[in-house]
Structure 1
Amino acid sequence: MVQYQDEESVYNLIPREQIIPTRPPRHVSGYPSKVHPHDLEFGQTKLQGHANFGLPNGANAVSPSKFLKSHEKSPVLPEPSIPSQTKTKLKAPVPLKDDRPTMGLTSNKNYITSNAVEAILSKPGKVPQDPFQWTTRPGYGEVPVYLRRNKQAIMREKEHFEQYVKMRNQPESGQMVSQMSAEDRAQLILHLKRKWGKVNHHFQGFSLSVDNEMKKRRKEELERQLAEIERDIKTLERGDTILVMDE
């Protein structure tokens, strides 16, 4: 690869390879080089022909011998011929008036049995079905499973909060303080991070526009929970020594 030096350099003393450019192939037109002069138009097709004074007087007059004859403009039908493809007869032709039926013919067919067999082997018709009644569905009117699950989660959080408030309100006298082990501390941090992920998932699911008071309160509550969990995680990760008051 040849490197070009804009300024003075020792590398400029090295003899460079002379690159001889290759000549591209000569252009050859795809059109014929020899054209007959009669084939050249030179724009003559765009010119208007010589003008005249039109037809002589009386050329457009109606002649009495040229009149519209009867059926002159009627379409000319082809001559009738034998059809190339004959249609199959789906039903037997009606008997002629000269036909005489054969008398005395009897049949041993059991019409009762044949009708029963035809009824058994026939395809059943489409039976109309009544519309589905949602009131008869199993579990109709009961509390959904997800509501019961959410209610249980809320009750557990409420119990934990009540225990926390009860522990805070107890007098400090007579309480024992113990140090939290590293395993319990790591497990508690992991639990708080998982809880932060769940709360953040619900928070990210909110729309950008909060159009009513209920959504606004719910969003503020989630923001408060996220801030509280983040504060607890920072407190636990700040040092290795965590003191816990025994109940």
Structure 2
Amino acid sequence: MYQEEESIYNIIPKEVYIPPKQGKYKSRYPPDIVPTGSTLALRNSQKPNVRNCGGHFEEIIEDHPISCKYSTLGKPKGSYKQSPDRYLKKGEGSQSIFHLPKIQNNSSIRQSHSQEKIKPPVPKLSESPLLLKGTKKNFILDNIVSNILSVPAVSQSQPDWLKKKEYGQTPRYLQRIKERTLQESIIMKDIVRAQEQEEQKKLYELSQQELQNLRDGLKSKWEQVYREYQQLTHITKIDTIHKLRKKEKCEEQLKQLEADMLKLKKNHIFVDAAK
């Protein structure tokens, strides 16, 4: 029987199972015991490195007894209230300073210092200094005799630089520089010549027929613009901006056409194909 099918047993309410409540868990180990080999809370302990090395379950007091009362949180509230019965007396506000005991060494054995002294000791009165023996030598007379008997020093002859083989000649490094500059100038001339040849290949000369066609076209254009300009010159009063602009435009066109016609008067004209 599938669960999706209808059944009369589904009408009967099912009992809710409530599991029994178990008791509270309580560990068999004490909760306030220090872990084995702990290094915490060792400020006043007798074991400064580790604590509870044996793994005991009992509380073992390992701290020093506190000698000063109320050193942690102080006395209860209201204990420091002033009272006329407890006034400050002599010696209560100050504490005596303990002095270290003096150690006296009565033994005859003294410590030997291996470190050498920086300065030598001062000589005693009984120690007489070493005195140099005097001499009866006459240094002035000895100097005169040594100068008389001395042999004059031979002066070494200096070389005559005017008789040198390379005197008056161009240094070799200047010759190398001159040859290098000459080679560079030849290379630059070759480069410029090659560029000029490339540019000349791009130029071509206009034929006489093409020149004549250009001249006729410029002449007809000039006559047309000049006719328009002559019509504007008869106007005595230019009262609008349109007329003024038209007159200025005609003047600029005439100047440009005259400059172009002047260039085309030459017999040989070359045109750059790259442009």
- Tell me the TM-score normalized by structure 2: 0.26
**More RCO (CA 8 Å, sep 6+):** 1
- Tell me the TM-score normalized by structure 1: 0.28
